[in-house]
Structure 1
Amino acid sequence: MSIRINPSVLNCDFMRIGEELDRIADADRAHIDVMDNHFVPNLTFGPSMVEQMARRSPIPLDAHLMITDADRHAVAFAEAGAESVTFHLEAAQAPVRLARELRKAGAQVGVALRPATPVEPLLDILGEFDMVLVMTVEPGFGGQSFLDSMLPKIRRVREAISAANLELSVQVDGGIKRETIGRAAEAGADVFVAGSAVYSVDDAAAEIAALRRLAAEHSH
């Protein structure tokens, strides 16, 4: 499994978003948390802001849509230039159709699960996706602590992907830092969203490198 580090811009200085994107140029993708103040109690970016970031960013965008009515709004983020678009299973009426629409719009497709959402409804449709995002905090705000109770879920997702003989990434988002990334990698994650861990240090590139190394040491 190739390890990918996708820093979340949720923890950056929004007044200097261009330079903040440049700080993470060594990462694999910039993780863009899209929140609508309905699905989660926070409000961030719409498609036009994502489009501006896609034009400016030195690395591709990984858009995580924490929005209700994903069926109606998700494709706009693919059209805005996000390389990968992840919607929440809880927010989609027709996840298979939406996955195919996103792919037609040129994006890779991820599906996300909140901590309390079981893996089982996904198992028969795993082949429609490029990535499963297991939330390791309740979505909505940066800086929360990693939920170790999600490790068995990461393991179940990875085992289901292997059993179906599929090639999917398993992304984790929430509380990822040097102290927790090894446990998530050991459980089967290979894409790691780190927000405050990267943006709270002076040398973001060194932190990205350290996280990548620790994840690689623990991955199978």
Structure 2
Amino acid sequence: MTSEILIAPSILAADFARLGEEIAAIDAAGADWIHCDVMDGHFVPNISFGADVIKAIRPVTKKVFDVHLMIAPVDPYLDAFAKAGADVITVHAEAGPHLDRTLQAVRALGKKAGVSLCPATSEGAIEYVLDRIDLVLVMTVNPGFGGQSFLESQLEKIKRIRTVIGDRPIRLEVDGGITRENAAAVAAAGADTLVAGSAVFRGKSSADYAGNIAAIRVAAEAGRVSKLQDISVQPMRAGESARLR
């Protein structure tokens, strides 16, 4: 696990009356990616925004637009989101019958392709599409609403997916209830990209957002360092045990 930690604030938690200003604020505050949660009121029980909003805010920042499509069917809308300015397009494994075909379509549009898994969906859903994806997104809440509590049951899934990814250049993203309090555990489990909404958009200024982003990043880096130290110590312990036999 060598990828740097990325923080992707979810604009779902922003003040939509000042959306452009809010995006400029998190850009200045140190956001690595801008996470855009698109909900259709069908696949998930909420409606957020569509491709036209993404197109409208695209000129505000040059940061990566990480577009998470919680919609079904998804294939008919891929082109619109690609043209609107998405850099990464993530679709749900549960949203359609032909995941491989959908991922091929995303890549054919010149975009990075991601797969998202709801809490009840096994990591086995990505087994046969690993060569099609650039990102796996693990939902640590049931999708549909911001501000939910983190599901600790997903930590083991994150660990298993990190093992499945291995050395492949695939980012492991986590979305749902991420805070400075649990970021260390999430990073230690293997995540390298953290989506945070409410935990970032606390306060009223870019300076407030910067402090929130920095706190999450510091916690995540600490969790990753702890995990790497554990990995480096384990072979030594095994060797010591062998010498004692």
TM-score range normalised by the length of the shorter chain: over 0.9
Map of 1:20 onto structure 2: 22
Q: CA RMSD in A?
A: 1.2
CA contact (8 A) 1:22 1:58 kept: no
Q: Deviations over 1:189-219 (max 9, x none)?
A: 0000000001023410121112112111111
Q: From 72, 77, 81, give the equivalent of 1:73.
A: 77
Map of 2:216 onto structure 1: 211
Residue type at the aligned position of 1:67: I
Counterpart Cα distance in 2 of 1:51 and 1:101: 20
Map of 1:86 onto structure 2: 90
CA contact (8 A) 1:175 1:194 kept: yes
Map of 1:51 onto structure 2: 55
Identity of aligned residues (%): 46
Map of 2:186 onto structure 1: 184
CA contact (8 A) 1:21 1:58 kept: no
What 5-or-longer segments of structure 2 have no aligned partner? 229-245
Alignment TM-score, normalising by the size of structure 2: 0.86
Q: Aligned ranges for residues 116-127 of structure 1 at < 5 Å?
A: 116-127=120-131
Q: Quick check: which has more Rg, 1 or 2?
A: 2
Q: From 2, 5, 9, give the equivalent of 1:3.
A: 5
Q: Deviations over 1:40-83 (max 9, x none)?
A: 11101111111111122342211100001112222321121111
Alignment TM-score, normalising by the size of structure 1: 0.95
Matched, 1:133 2:137: yes
Counterpart Cα distance in 1 of 2:199 and 2:134: 26
CA contact (8 A) 2:202 2:212 kept: no
Counterpart Cα distance in 2 of 1:115 and 1:74: 24
